[in-house]
């Protein structure tokens, strides 16, 4: 069964550093998403991406965040200057309008 | 803001049916109901989705009321491996004819031997 692959599985970074979270969506999917889950809390929408541009972003997705699909297969989330409150599980998902969305296993980001 | 409400926790005996309720009274006519589950902090796993008709797949059945204000996920023969947090989610329309999933807090289902 096709999978969404995320790397790394765990990233520890110092506050103020830049991090890039990587995702390889399912190849024939057209819609891509990033969600995050702070420990013990609900899953929160960050951003959706379609046709090489952002469709919608949440209020969490401020100027410190950016997404790219640099080579037609990878989908990245960059946080320019991490803060302690960015510590969370970050999930990438891909899918379409008529079927279920497939999530990756997540990247646990720890900002120290 | 979440568009769904679920009981925070439920128990079920192994081998019995688990019926997980969800209220989504503000759902719009073109918004789908999705169910996912999450084991520990793993990635959410898709279970099933529907609009207004009842749906069944190899994992579960989804019963949606006629007024679409609530639904029930049924795991017909729960096993210990079904212990997880189950999320009832509304998929809403966003810009670019795209959609996003609005998550609630989910139901923590414990399947007991």
B-chain residues near A33 (CB < 8 A): 100
Do A103 and B36 lie within an 8 Å CB cutoff? yes
Rg (CA), chain A: 13
As a whole number of angstroms, the distance between CA B48 and CA B58 comes to: 9
**pLDDT at position A27 over 70:** yes
Chain A residues with CB under 8 Å of a chain B CB are: 4, 6, 31, 33, 35, 37, 39, 42-45, 48, 50-51, 53, 55-56, 89, 91, 97, 100-106, 108
State the DSSP code for B52: S
Phi, psi of B70 (to 5 degrees): -155, 165
- CB contact at 8 A, A67 and A73: no
Which chain A residue's Cα is nearest to B96?
A55
Q: What confidence category does residue A19 fall into, taking pLDDT thresholds of 50, 70 and 90? A: very high
Segments of chain B with pLDDT less than 50: none
**pLDDT range class, residue A40, cuts 50, 70, 90:** confident
For residue A72, pLDDT over 80 is answered with no
DSSP secondary structure code for residue A81 in this structure? S
CB A94 within 8 A of CB A29: yes
Predicted pLDDT of residue A111: 98
Indicate yes or no: CB of A55 within 8 angstroms of CB of B45.
no
Mean pLDDT of A88-93: 96
List beta partners, residue B74. B19, B61
Q: In this predicted structure, what is the pLDDT of residue A99?
A: 65
- Asked if pLDDT for residue A73 goes beyond 90, the answer is no
Of the pLDDT bands very low, low, confident and very high (cuts 50, 70, 90), residue A97 is: low
Q: Which helix (H) or strand (E) holds A13?
A: strand A10-13
């Amino acid at each position: 069964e096709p999978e969404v692959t995320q790397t790394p599985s765990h990233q520890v970074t110092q506050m103020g550093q830049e991090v890039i979270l990587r995702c390889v969506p399912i190849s024939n999917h057209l819609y891509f998403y990033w969600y995050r889950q702070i420990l013990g809390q609900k899953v929160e929408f960050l951003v959706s991406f379609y046709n090489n541009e952002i469709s919608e972003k949440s209020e969490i997705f401020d100027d410190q965040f950016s997404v790219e699909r640099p080579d037609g297969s990878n989908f990245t989330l960059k946080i320019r200057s991490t803060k302690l409150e960015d510590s969370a599980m970050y999930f990438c998902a891909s899918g379409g309008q008529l079927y279920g969305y497939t999530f990756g296993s997540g990247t646990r980001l720890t900002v120290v | 803001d979440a568009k769904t409400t679920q009981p925070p926790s439920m128990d079920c005996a192994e081998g019995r049916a688990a019926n997980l309720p969800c209220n989504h009274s503000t759902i719009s006519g073109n918004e789908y109901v999705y169910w996912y589950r999450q084991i520990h902090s793993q990635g959410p796993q898709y279970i099933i989705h529907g609009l207004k008709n009842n749906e069944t797949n190899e994992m579960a059945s989804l019963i949606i009321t006629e007024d679409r204000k609530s639904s029930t996920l049924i795991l017909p023969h729960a096993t210990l491996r079904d212990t997880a947090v189950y999320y009832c989610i509304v998929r809403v329309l966003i810009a670019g004819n795209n959609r996003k999933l609005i998550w609630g807090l989910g139901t923590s289902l414990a399947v007991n031997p």
